[in-house]
Amino acid sequence: MEGKKTIERQTIPMEKLENEAARYASFLERRLSLYKLAGDLVQQHDVDIGIVLSSPTNMPYSFFHPTVEVVSQRLLNPNVELGDTTKLVATCVRNNVNEIEYKLAELKIREYVASKQSIILDQAKEMREIGWWEDVEKLKTDEVTQFEAWLDVADFNMKNRLKQLENEVASNAS
């Protein structure tokens, strides 16, 4: 089994794609994965990061955290302390990102709870009995028979009550 290689372990050679549409689609996928990895790196380790890309159509794309100024100053002068305004801007940007991430996590929790509630409500809806006010065309054959019997009983009771009331009126009138 020495010669056997699984798909996960095989290396895909880097070569230029000739089809422009395929090349651009591949670029977009890789760009998004780079941005996601950079965002995860920032979130986990609170680092300053900058990525500058050029697409196959020569369009520039960039990702900087916290700002372009902070990353460029760190790149040009790694040993120099950042200025007060730059530190303030970087802190504000980091706070905004943290706040947005917190809101996103909260929304994901709400979405999860809402989906669970929706599943529970759907199950309860399937298990409940159909009421007299609902569309008769949706009833099954045995439910139609049961509904007809209920209507017959209701009709009988209402006619009975009507006769009682007529008898009471007739006895009171005489």
The answer to whether the CB of 90 falls within 8 A of the CB of 66 is yes
> What pLDDT is attached to residue 174?
67
pLDDT 10s digits, 66-112: 889 888 888 888 888 888 888 898 889 889 988 998 999 999 999 99
pLDDT 10s digits, 17-69: 888 898 999 899 999 999 999 989 988 888 889 999 999 989 999 999 888 98
Residue-by-residue DSSP string for 22-59: HHHHHHHHHHHHHHHHHHHHHHHH---EEEEEE-TT--
Statement: residue 15 has pLDDT above 50: yes
Dist. CA 142–CA 148, nearest whole Å:
10
How big is the chain by its Cα radius of gyration, in Å? 36
Question: Residue 7's pLDDT band (boundaries 50, 70, 90)?
Answer: low
Most distant CA atoms of the chain, gap in Å = 114
> What pLDDT is attached to residue 1?
47
Peptide bond into 78 cis (omega under 30): no
Nearest alpha-carbon partner for 26 in 14, 39, 37: 14
Question: Residue 134's pLDDT band (boundaries 50, 70, 90)?
Answer: low
Q: Which residue has the higher pLDDT, 104 or 4?
A: 104
Contacts (Cβ under 8 Å, ≥6 apart) of 65: 38, 39, 42, 47, 48, 49, 50, 71, 93, 97
The pTM (predicted TM-score) of the whole model is 0.52
Average pLDDT over residues 134-149: 80
Question: Residue 130's pLDDT band (boundaries 50, 70, 90)?
Answer: low
Average pLDDT over residues 134-154: 83
Question: Residue 133's pLDDT band (boundaries 50, 70, 90)?
Answer: low
Statement: residue 161 has pLDDT above 80: yes
Residue 46 Rama label (left phi>0; alpha psi -120 to 50; beta): left
> What pLDDT is attached to residue 6?
64
Residue-by-residue DSSP string for 148-174: HHHHHHHHHHHHHHHHHHHHHHHHHH-
